Amino acid sequence: MKYLFIIFLLIGCSENNNSYFPLESSRSWSYKVEIQPEIEQKTIYKKVNLSLGKKKIKINGEENSLYPFMREDGSIFFYASNRNGVHRKGYKFLKDKKVMADKEERIVLPRPLKIGKKWEVQSKTYLILKRYPYYDYRATTNFEIKYKIKSENEIVNTPAGKFKNCLLVEGFGKTKFIGDSEIGTIEITITSKEWYAKGVGLIKSLRVEKTDSDLFGTTKMTQILEDYK
């Protein structure tokens, strides 16, 4: 039993060092995010994620060993890691006094990782936007996105460096948004591609929300790693 325990620890360390979603402390990721609507001006901004290390966090009165990640706006998202993969379990915005639990644990990356592996996650549309003179109209609705691991040997160039043997995850979903009497019902198709590097995490992503409406068109969002330490 003692030897089995030692082997388990060695395997655990190896997986952690080679993780596509590392959860260790004292790490930060800086991204450039570009949102390109079909009918509006492009938006570019910076996004920063900072891992805070393993902590004991209470969610719904139950204590959990979780890994919090803070974003540049002060919001914090809490992740757990187990034999089934990396999950997001909760979140906390600046206005919140306590950690809020996700209605369902959101799988970030499953285990085991292998080409063809599939899973589903509940999500929301958030890119489809129409700007009017006095207000913005955003088409936000819930949908299920289906993910699949497509490759384990991608090569990706970023401002933070060139990464080899990257994991490529593709996602697809469809939904409908019911607007007002003028907009009516629009159909939205969502596709995504996410690239992960071992020991680093997410290095690039591309999300497209396409509508069948000339009023909203298609919006693309590209996120790329600029700095990592």
Place 13 in a pLDDT band, splitting at 50, 70 and 90.
very low
Average per-residue pLDDT for the chain: 88
pLDDT per residue as tens digits for the range 49-85: 999 999 999 888 889 899 999 999 999 999 999 889 9
Selected residue with higher pLDDT from 23 and 173: 173
- The residues near 11 (Cβ < 8 Å, ≥ 6 apart) are none
What is the number of other CB atoms lying within 10 angstroms of the CB of residue 149? 19
Q: What pLDDT, on the 0 to 100 scale, is given for residue 181?
A: 74
**Across 1-16, average pLDDT:** 35
pLDDT per residue as tens digits for the range 155-208: 999 999 999 999 999 999 999 998 877 788 999 999 999 999 999 999 999 999
The residue extents of the domains of the chain are 21-228
Q: What pLDDT, on the 0 to 100 scale, is given for residue 12?
A: 37
Q: What pLDDT, on the 0 to 100 scale, is given for residue 180?
A: 78
CB 213 within 8 A of CB 200: no
